[in-house]
Structure 1
Amino acid sequence: MVRVFALLSALGLLFWGLGQTGGTVAYPQGYRTWTHVKSMIVEKGHPLYELVGGLHHIYANEKAMQGYRANPRVFPEGSVIVFDLLEPVVGNHAVVEGERKAVIVMEKDSRRFARTGNWGYALFPGNSRTPANIDVNSCYECHKGAANTDFVFSVYRP
């Protein structure tokens, strides 16, 4: 629990700032029933470990799935992608889900989020439905590295 709090504190300090410009991103109710895009584990040694180390599950609503399937990859308005970040628990020769560290959300809306590549960002710490105050410009700066895939890093694994 202390590690989760420390991670969330670090995330808050890293992203704290102006908050969402142009609107807010809501908590994605029922996202675990959406399409599962992929899972991965970010371990120590990865450049983003301190920020998002752990077990990741990525989910997409139907509009986002249209973007994942498109070539070139362009996501339509209303796309929502959820990054469910959990503490990995290793034992008995298995890795299983531990406590939730955060739910991180991207929502595409060119009217509300034009200044950040048409995507809004939110971070919901732990099991909270209340978003943390984040500097979405930091999110956008990182996601610029995926500008050729509409600012989305993940690839759908059918």
Structure 2
Amino acid sequence: MNPIYLVPCVFAILASSGLAAVAVTNEDAKPRASSPIYGVTIPDGYRQWELVAPAEEAEPLNELRAVLGNVVAIKAYRDGTLPFPDGTVLAKLAWKHIQSPEFESASVPGAATTVQIMVKDSKKYAATGGWGFGRFVDGKPADETQHRTCFACHEARVQGLDYVFTRYAP
């Protein structure tokens, strides 16, 4: 049999078994914006991750925040694992804190301010406690100066908690 006739048969077998290849679009091939210093990017699907905890930041930032974790992070939180294992990724979403127009005693998210990402890779980020940091405004990485402050702040305040501020809200 001519090999060219086998291609549709092989594809049909793969498709029926769920193993067919997915076409890659030009959009998929575009490089992602990564943070300076650490090279961290915003992970695909992070908005579908589980909630680790909400938070509120008072003045001067006046933000509402939500910290989300990938599967590795959530398992570590639930199991009480410290230090966090490699592969842990945390995403902090932040919005301006505003009063609800419908209910004056309630607060609601206003304009988005940042998405911040922490990635645990103890070899790649050995110099910063095993963590790489990314801070993004409107999907674009913040400048290098802002990234230089990430580890210093975590190191000064939560070194004994594997450099992570957020506690799990069961």
TM-score normalised by the shorter chain: which range applies? 0.7 to 0.9
Q: CA deviation at 1:137?
A: 3.8
1:67 corresponds in structure 2 to 76
Do the aligned partners of 1:122 and 1:134 also contact (CA within 8 Å) in 2? no
Q: Distance in 2 between matches of 1:62 and 1:72?
A: 13
2:151 corresponds in structure 1 to 140
Q: CA deviation at 1:72?
A: 5.1
TM-score, normalised relative to structure 1: 0.74
Q: CA deviation at 1:71?
A: 3.5
Amino acid at match of 1:110: S
Which secondary structure state, in structure 2, belongs to the residue aligned with residue 157 of structure 1?
Answer: coil
Do the aligned partners of 1:80 and 1:106 also contact (CA within 8 Å) in 2? yes
Which secondary structure state, in structure 2, belongs to the residue aligned with residue 73 of structure 1?
Answer: coil
Higher RCO (Cα < 8 Å, 6 or more apart)? 1
1:56 corresponds in structure 2 to 65
2:141 corresponds in structure 1 to 131
Which secondary structure state, in structure 2, belongs to the residue aligned with residue 124 of structure 1?
Answer: strand
- Bigger-Rg structure (1/2): 2
1:122 corresponds in structure 2 to 134
1:41 corresponds in structure 2 to 56
Q: Distance in 1 between matches of 2:52 and 2:153?
A: 20
Amino acid at match of 1:97: P
Q: Does 1:98 align with 2:107?
A: no
Percent identity reads 31
Q: Distance in 2 between matches of 1:139 and 1:122?
A: 9
TM-score, normalised relative to structure 2: 0.70
Q: Distance in 2 between matches of 1:38 and 1:142?
A: 20
Q: Runs in 1 of length 4+ with deviation above 6 angstroms?
A: none
1:25 corresponds in structure 2 to 40
